Each structure stands twice: as C-alpha cells, then as structure tokens.
Amino acid sequence: MSIKLTILGSSGALPAYGRFPTSQYLVIQNRHFLIDCGEGVQMQLMRYQIPFHKIDHIFISHLHGDHYLGLMGLLFSMHLQRRVSDLHIYSPKGLDEIILLHLKYSKSVLHYEIHFHPYHPGEVIQLHEDAVLTVKTIPLIHKIPCAGFLFREKIKPVKLNKEKLFPGLLLQHIATLKTGADVYNEAGELLYKNLDYTLPPPPSYSYAFCSDTAWNETMVEQIRGINLLYHEATFMEEEIDKAHETKHSTAREAASIAQRCEAHQLLIGHFSARYKELEPLLNEAKEIFPNTQLAIEGTTFEFPYESTS
C-alpha cells in the first residue's frame, strides 16, 4: 500500500443522515495527515480505530466552520492523552488566532507545540516536503479564500533484482546500486551497471483534495493525470443556480473536471443536507466520468487500487 485515504466526513455545511462535516485521514508511506477537521472528527477517528496520535500534519482548506470546528476538541484530546510531539497546522490566516483564543480563556497550556503555517489560498504554494512526498495548495473559488491540497509521491527507489546478485558482491556496491547509481572502481572504471542489477521503482501516486469550490478550470493543468481526485459535489445539476450562488459545484461539474484533467478515479463528497439518498448524485457524475465513487464515511481507498468500506 502506497496511499490510503479514509473518509471521516462527507456532509456539506449541515450534518445529515449520519453524515459528518468534511474530514479525511490520509496515510502516505507511513506519514499521517488529517485534511479538514469538521465537527465530530475525533469521534470518527475513534469509531474507525484510527491512531490520531500519529497525525503530525493537519491541513485546513478554509475557515468556514464545517471544515475546522472539530479541531479544538481534537487538540484537547491529544493534550489529555499526553501527546508530546510537535503538531503542524496549515491554514489560511486567522486559524492561529482562533486556537490561541480558546487556549487563553480556558487557561490551557498544551503538552506539545503547535506550529502554525498560514498560507495564501490564491497562490500555488508548497506547504510541506520530506523524503517521500510534497504537498502543494490548489487555489479554489469559494465565498471566502479556500484552497485544496495536492499530495504527490516522489520517485521511489529502485529495487534490487535478487536473481542477478551473486556471492562476493560487496555491501558498499549493493548500497550504491540501491541508490540507482552505477558502481565504479577507484580508477573510475565501470564495474556494475545499475540497470543490470535492479528492477524499476514501484509507481508513485498522487492525490488531490478539492474542497469547496465553484467550477474551476484553472486547476485542471495542476492536477492533470492525478491518480485519485476528491472534488466536492454539493448539488445536482437541477440545483446549478444554487451552486453558482453559493460557489459550490454540482456532481456533473465535478465529473467534468475529472474528465478534463484525465484523473484515474474521482471521489465526490460535501453533499447538501437536501439529499437523503446519494445514488442520484453518483449516477449524475458517472454519466460524465464512469470511474466515480461516493466519498462516504468509513470508506477507505488505497493505491495500488483497492476500496473497502
């Protein structure tokens, strides 16, 4: 497993029919991320037996309450469970003031440090990078500044072809081959060509989280060829005027974006409380982009591909 995404909340502004506000738990090569943090998120994390003490990075798309009001409860629970490791929170400007005000008037001092990383949602900004991945913002179109997040794995290391290894091959030569480099002797002569002793690296995958947004063609090039695309689908096409008014998208529009950016798979979510049954939204999206699924609570998506619920 390279990427594992678990849906914690799929509802729009109002919780409805057992659906919670937006939140997702993402694991990439043992890195643990929380994307948005709607009301009730810590209950969902416990419900699905997710070890939230492993989460070191939380990404907040915008400051509408249904995308961050679960954050204070989660932060205090981490405190009560004696978390000591640093926590990084990425959000548009202002969330740091909100959290610090809570701490001030509750006279609370957390056992761990929070590092705030404010960003400008209207720009493509690299928020995080480590040895295996990068995370960048995706500028979106909403009533207040809002950004999605693009997670991309870096090229993975080559694998040794064990059938080609032989006794007497030095450990330092094996270590060099693992890096993808050829092996030379002290005189600069080629001893072992890397391609002869290794297998191609496993595929690298990508995930784009596109939170609340109106129709937004400008992001298509940034996410072209994405393996897994989450795109809000608050309304059906019959409510497109309402979508335009609130700067949200319809299921058909989400599918059209997936089609244009040549995504491999589309997840739709952020469903309006007016819809008890979600199959009509799914069917609307599938008319344009057949490889669409509902991003509903408890569903896990993995790459290499697997879906469980």
pLDDT reading at 112 higher than 50: yes
Which of 171, 198, 225 is at the close of a domain?
A: 198
Q: Hey, which residues does 301 pair with through a beta bridge?
A: 5, 307
Same-domain status, 35 and 172:
no
pLDDT one-digit tens code per residue, 51-92:
999 999 999 999 999 999 999 999 999 999 999 999 999 999
212 part of the active site: no
Asked if 255 and 289 touch (Cβ cutoff 8 Å), the reply is: yes
* Torsion from C-alpha of 122, 123, 128, 132, nearest 10 degrees: 120
Q: How many domains does the chain have?
A: 2
The pLDDT of residue 1: 60
Q: Where are the beta strands (DSSP E) in the chain?
A: 3-9, 23-28, 31-37, 57-59, 87-92, 114-119, 126-129, 133-139, 147-153, 159-160, 183-184, 190-192, 198-199, 206-210, 228-232, 265-269, 292-294, 300-303, 306-308
The pLDDT value recorded for residue 276 is 97
Q: Domain boundary residue among 175, 198, 221?
A: 198
Residues shown for the chain? 309
Of the residues 56, 66, 196, 241, only one is catalytic, namely: 66
Burial class (CB within 10 angstroms; exposed 0-12, middle 13-18, buried 19+) of 56:
middle
Specify the DSSP class assigned to residue 144. S
96 and 180 fall within a common domain: no
292, 266 Cβ separation under 8 angstroms: yes
Instruction: For residues 152 and 186, state if they share a domain.
Output: no
**Could you give phi then psi for residue 281, rounded to 5 degrees?**
-65, -40
Regarding whether 38 and 7 lie in a shared domain, the answer is yes
Summarize the chain as % helix, strand, coil (round to 5).
Answer: 25, 30, 45
Ramachandran category for residue 240: left, alpha or beta (phi over 0 → left; psi -120 to 50 → alpha): alpha
Query: How many other CB atoms are found less than 10 A from the CB of residue 250?
Result: 25
Q: Mark whether 273 and 131 lie in a shared domain.
A: yes
pLDDT digits (tens, 9 = 90+) for 228-265: 999 999 999 999 999 999 999 999 999 999 999 999 99
DSSP labels, 62-91: --SGGGTTTHHHHHHHHHHTT--S-EEEEE
Element (H, E) at 259: helix 251-260
Q: Which residue, of 142, 173, 198, is where some domain finishes?
A: 198
CA gap 232, 280 in Å, rounded: 15
Q: Are 273 and 173 members of one domain?
A: no
Whether residues 33 and 170 fall in one domain: no
For residue 59, the domain's CATH number is 3.60.15.10
Quote the mean pLDDT of the chain: 94
**C-alpha to C-alpha distance for 291 and 301, rounded to whole angstroms:** 13
pLDDT tens for each residue of 176-226: 877 878 888 888 888 888 887 788 888 999 999 999 999 999 999 999 999
Q: How confident is the model at residue 307 (pLDDT cuts 50, 70, 90)?
A: very low
Residue 300 sits in the same domain as residue 250: yes
Residue 308 above 80 pLDDT? no
- The reported pLDDT for the residue numbered 305 is 53
166 and 29: one domain?
no
State the residue range of the domain holding 207.
3-156+202-308
**250 with 167, same domain?**
no
Distance, in Å, from the CA atom of 160 to the CA atom of 151, rounded to the nearest integer, reads 27
pLDDT digits 0-9 by tens, 121-130: 999 999 999 9
Residues 229 and 295 in one domain: yes
| Segment 20-62, tens digit of pLDDT | 999 999 999 999 999 999 999 999 999 999 999 999 999 999 9
Same domain, 81 and 116: yes
